[in-house]
Each structure stands twice: as C-alpha cells, then as structure tokens.
C-alpha cells in the first residue's frame, strides 16, 4: 500500500471511531436541541436569533453528513471489491 492510501484509511478509521463514540453523538444531539430551543423560545421579532440557530443546525447537519460520507465511501469501496 502506498503512503497516501494508508493515510486515507487511517483518516477513515479515525472518523468512524468518532462517529461511533456515544459521548460525541450525545453532544451533537444536545447542541442541536439547544438550537431548536432557541428557535422555540424566541420572540416573533427575534429574527436574527432564529436565523443564527438555524444556521448552526445546518452546519451541524452538514458536518455530520460529510463525516458519514467519508465512512460510507470506505464501505462502498469494500463492497465493490467483494463483488469483483
């Protein structure tokens, strides 16, 4: 294996490990709940507060999707080799 392939595999393993860590997942869930609470508890005129909370929710979702795609990409490659 080349150094680059090993580096990519190590990165994927690290990300998978983080995504399987319950404390990380709990913290992500808590952060998202806090953002939704900000939206729910805001006054009608607090548009900036709601927008900021919404942007944070979208950022969290985007980050989690990106991390999961790195792990899934690895799984797809593994399955493609078993098909061949």
pLDDT score, position 10: 83
pLDDT score, position 11: 85
| Residues 71 and 19 sit within 8 Å (Cβ to Cβ) | yes
Residue with the two structure tokens 């190590």: 10
Tokens standing for 35? 């953002």
Model confidence pLDDT, tens digit, residues 6-15: 766 788 889 9
Model confidence pLDDT, tens digit, residues 24-79: 999 999 999 999 999 999 999 999 999 999 999 999 999 999 999 988 886 655 55
For residue 5, pLDDT beyond 70: no
Tokens standing for 17? 């490990």
Tokens standing for 1? 């294996």
In the chain, where the domains are located: 3-83
pLDDT band at 84 (very low <50, low <70, confident <90, very high): low
């Amino acid at each position: 294996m080349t150094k680059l392939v090993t580096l990519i595999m190590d990165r994927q393993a690290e990300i998978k490990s983080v995504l399987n860590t319950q404390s990380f997942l709990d913290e992500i869930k808590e952060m998202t709940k806090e953002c939704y609470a900000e939206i729910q508890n805001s006054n009608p005129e607090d548009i900036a507060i709601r927008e900021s909370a919404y942007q944070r929710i979208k950022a969290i979702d985007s980050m989690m999707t990106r991390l999961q795609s790195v792990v899934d990409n690895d799984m797809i490659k593994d399955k493609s080799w078993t098909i061949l």
